[in-house]
A and B are shown apart, each in its own frame.
Chain A
Amino acid sequence: MRVSDRLTVWCRRIAVMTRKELLQLFRDIPLMAFLIYSFTLSVYVTGNGIQTQLKNAGLLVSDADRSVSSRELISRFHSPYFRFDGELAHPNEGFVRLDRGGSMMVLDIPTRFHEALVSGESTAVQLLVDTTNSPQGLSAAGYAARIVGQFSQELIMTRNGQTGSSSTTVPMILSDHRVWFNQDQNETWFESISHLLRMITIFAVLLPAAALVREKERGTVEQLLVSPLTPAQIMLPKVVAMTLVILGATAVALFGVMLPVFGVPIRGSVSLLFLLTALFIVATAGIGVFASTVTKNQAQVGMMTLLVVAPMLLLSGIFTPLETMPAWVRYLMALSPLRYFIEIATGILLKGIGLEMLWSQALSMLALGVSLFGFGMWRFRRQFR
Chain B
Amino acid sequence: MQQHYGPSIHSSSTQSSVLSPQPSDTIVNVSGFVKRYKKHMAVDGIDLEIRKGEIYGLIGPDGAGKSSLMKAIAGVLTYDEGTVEVFGTLVDSERAAERVKERIGFLPQGLGLNLYPDLSVEENIDFFARLRLVPEQQLTERKTRLLAMTRLDKYRDRAMKNLSGGMKQKLGLICTLIHEPELAILDEPTTGVDPVSRRDFWAILAELLLEKGMTALVSTAYMDEASRFHRLSFLSGGKVLASGTPAEVQMLAPGSMVTFEATPQLDAIARLKIRYKQVEALGPLLHVFTDDTDPAAAMQSITSSLGIIKPMQLRVNEPELEDVFVALLLRQGEQPTAIEMPPAAPVTSNGTLAIEAKDLIRDFGTFRAVDRVSFQVKPGEIFGLLGANGAGKTTVIKMLNGIMPPTGGEGWVAGADMKTAGGAIKERIGYMSQAFSLYLDLTVVENIRLFAGIYGLDANATDQRLKWIVSMAGLKGYESSLTGRLPMGVRQRLALGCALVHQPRVLFLDEPTSGVDPIGRRHFWDILSRLAREEGVAILVTTHYMSEAEHCDHLALMYAGRIVAEGSPVDMKRQVEKEAGQLLEVATDQPGPALRRVTQAGFVGAALFGTKLHLLSLDPSQDEARLRTALSSDGVQVQDVLIRPLSLEDVFVYRVLVVERQEQATVKGAAA
Closest Cβ–Cβ distance, residue A231 to chain B (whole Å): 12
Is A384 close to B, CB under 8 A? yes
Q: What residues of B have a CB within 8 angstroms of the CB of A12 in the complex?
A: 453, 456-458
Is B346 close to A, CB under 8 A? no
* A282 to B625 alpha-carbon distance, docked (Å): 80
Contact (Cβ within 8 A) A229 B454? yes
Is A379 close to B, CB under 8 A? no
Is A171 close to B, CB under 8 A? no
Is B620 close to A, CB under 8 A? no
Is B431 close to A, CB under 8 A? yes
Contacts A12-B458, A219-B433 given; does A227 touch B442 at CB 8 Å = no
Mask of B89-127 contacts with A, CB within 8 angstroms, 1/0: 000000000000000000000000000000000000000
**Given known contacts A222-B435, A223-B438, what 14 new A-B pairs fall within 8 Å (CB)?**
A8-B456, A8-B458, A12-B453, A12-B458, A16-B454, A23-B441, A220-B437, A220-B438, A220-B439, A222-B433, A223-B498, A227-B455, A228-B454, A385-B404
Is B330 close to A, CB under 8 A? no
Is A41 close to B, CB under 8 A? no
Contact (Cβ within 8 A) B452 A16? yes
Contact (Cβ within 8 A) A226 B401? yes
Query: For residues 486 through 503 of chain B, which have their beta carbon under 8 Å from a beta carbon of chain A?
Result: 498
Considering the complex, give the chain A residue whose CB is closest to the CB of B498. A223
Mask of A228-246 contacts with B, CB within 8 angstroms, 1/0: 1100000000000000000
Considering the complex, give the chain A residue whose CB is closest to the CB of B457. A12
Closest Cβ–Cβ distance, residue A20 to chain B (whole Å): 5
Count A interface residues, CB 8 Å: 27
Chain B residues touching A, majority SS? loop
Query: For residues 543 through 560 of chain B, which have their beta carbon under 8 Å from a beta carbon of chain A?
Result: none
Is B403 close to A, CB under 8 A? yes
Contact (Cβ within 8 A) B449 A16? yes
Is A51 close to B, CB under 8 A? no
* A257 to B401 alpha-carbon distance, docked (Å): 52
Contact (Cβ within 8 A) A9 B437? no
Is B427 close to A, CB under 8 A? yes
Closest Cβ–Cβ distance, residue A114 to chain B (whole Å): 76
Is A177 close to B, CB under 8 A? no
Is B446 close to A, CB under 8 A? yes
Q: What residues of B have a CB within 8 angstroms of the CB of A320 in the complex?
A: none
Closest Cβ–Cβ distance, residue A293 to chain B (whole Å): 16
Considering the complex, give the chain B residue whose CB is closest to the CB of A229. B454
Contact (Cβ within 8 A) A228 B423? yes
Q: What residues of B have a CB within 8 angstroms of the CB of A224 in the complex?
A: 454
Interface centre among A15, A223, A229 (most CB of B within 10 A): A223
Closest Cβ–Cβ distance, residue B159 to chain A (whole Å): 14
Is A351 close to B, CB under 8 A? no
Contacts A219-B435, A225-B403 given; does A27 touch B453 at CB 8 Å = no
Q: What residues of B have a CB within 8 angstroms of the CB of A15 in the complex?
A: 453
Chain A residues touching B, majority SS? helix
* A302 to B481 alpha-carbon distance, docked (Å): 32
Contact (Cβ within 8 A) A17 B450? yes
Contact (Cβ within 8 A) A223 B453? no
Closest Cβ–Cβ distance, residue A6 to chain B (whole Å): 9
* A20 to B452 alpha-carbon distance, docked (Å): 12
A residues near B, CB below 8 A?
8-9, 12-13, 15-17, 19-20, 23-24, 27-28, 218-229, 384-385
The answer, among A13, A27, A384, for a CB contact under 8 Å with B454, is A13
Is B402 close to A, CB under 8 A? yes
Q: What residues of A have a CB within 8 angstroms of the CB of B454 in the complex?
A: 13, 16-17, 224, 227-229
The 5 A-B pairs of least Cβ separation, nearest first, read A16-B453, A9-B456, A223-B437, A226-B431, A228-B426
Q: What residues of B have a CB within 8 angstroms of the CB of A27 in the complex?
A: 441
B residues near A, CB below 8 A?
401-405, 423, 426-427, 429, 431, 433, 435-442, 446, 449-458, 498, 508
Contact (Cβ within 8 A) A384 B437? no
Q: What residues of A have a CB within 8 angstroms of the CB of B403 in the complex?
A: 222, 225-226, 384
Contact (Cβ within 8 A) A23 B404? no
Q: What residues of A have a CB within 8 angstroms of the CB of B427 in the complex?
A: 228
Contact (Cβ within 8 A) A219 B442? no
* A219 to B394 alpha-carbon distance, docked (Å): 14
The answer, among A16, A223, A384, for a CB contact under 8 Å with B404, is A384
Considering the complex, give the chain B residue whose CB is closest to the CB of A26. B441
Q: What residues of A have a CB within 8 angstroms of the CB of B431 in the complex?
A: 222-223, 226
* A227 to B498 alpha-carbon distance, docked (Å): 11
Q: What residues of B have a CB within 8 angstroms of the CB of A17 in the complex?
A: 450, 453-454
Closest Cβ–Cβ distance, residue A242 to chain B (whole Å): 16
17 contacts between A and B (CB under 8 A): A17-B454, A20-B446, A28-B441, A218-B437, A219-B437, A222-B403, A222-B431, A223-B431, A223-B437, A225-B402, A226-B403, A226-B433, A228-B427, A228-B455, A228-B456, A229-B454, A384-B404
Closest Cβ–Cβ distance, residue B355 to chain A (whole Å): 14
Considering the complex, give the chain B residue whose CB is closest to the CB of A234. B454
* A12 to B498 alpha-carbon distance, docked (Å): 17
Q: What residues of A have a CB within 8 angstroms of the CB of B442 in the complex?
A: 20, 23-24
* A8 to B453 alpha-carbon distance, docked (Å): 11
Q: What residues of B have a CB within 8 angstroms of the CB of A8 in the complex?
A: 456, 458
* A27 to B441 alpha-carbon distance, docked (Å): 7
Considering the complex, give the chain A residue whose CB is closest to the CB of B449. A16
Closest Cβ–Cβ distance, residue B11 to chain A (whole Å): 43
Q: What residues of B have a CB within 8 angstroms of the CB of A226 in the complex?
A: 401-403, 426, 429, 431, 433, 508
Closest Cβ–Cβ distance, residue B434 to chain A (whole Å): 9
Considering the complex, give the chain B residue whose CB is closest to the CB of A12. B453
Considering the complex, give the chain A residue whose CB is closest to the CB of B428. A228
Q: What residues of A have a CB within 8 angstroms of the CB of B453 in the complex?
A: 12-13, 15-17
* A224 to B453 alpha-carbon distance, docked (Å): 12
Interface centre among B403, B453, B458 (most CB of A within 10 A): B453
* A20 to B426 alpha-carbon distance, docked (Å): 21
Contact (Cβ within 8 A) A222 B450? no
* A20 to B456 alpha-carbon distance, docked (Å): 15
Contact (Cβ within 8 A) A23 B438? no
Q: What residues of B have a CB within 8 angstroms of the CB of A227 in the complex?
A: 426, 451, 454-455
Contact (Cβ within 8 A) B451 A23? no
The answer, among B402, B405, B450, for a CB contact under 8 Å with A20, is B450
Closest Cβ–Cβ distance, residue B510 to chain A (whole Å): 10
Closest Cβ–Cβ distance, residue B515 to chain A (whole Å): 15
Q: What residues of A have a CB within 8 angstroms of the CB of B446 in the complex?
A: 20, 23
* A306 to B516 alpha-carbon distance, docked (Å): 42
Closest Cβ–Cβ distance, residue B161 to chain A (whole Å): 11
The answer, among A222, A228, A229, A385, for a CB contact under 8 Å with B437, is A222
Closest Cβ–Cβ distance, residue A173 to chain B (whole Å): 68
* A15 to B403 alpha-carbon distance, docked (Å): 24
Q: What residues of B have a CB within 8 angstroms of the CB of A221 in the complex?
A: 437
Considering the complex, give the chain A residue whose CB is closest to the CB of B451. A227
Q: What residues of A have a CB within 8 angstroms of the CB of B429 in the complex?
A: 226
Contacts A24-B442, A228-B426 given; does A16 touch B437 at CB 8 Å = no
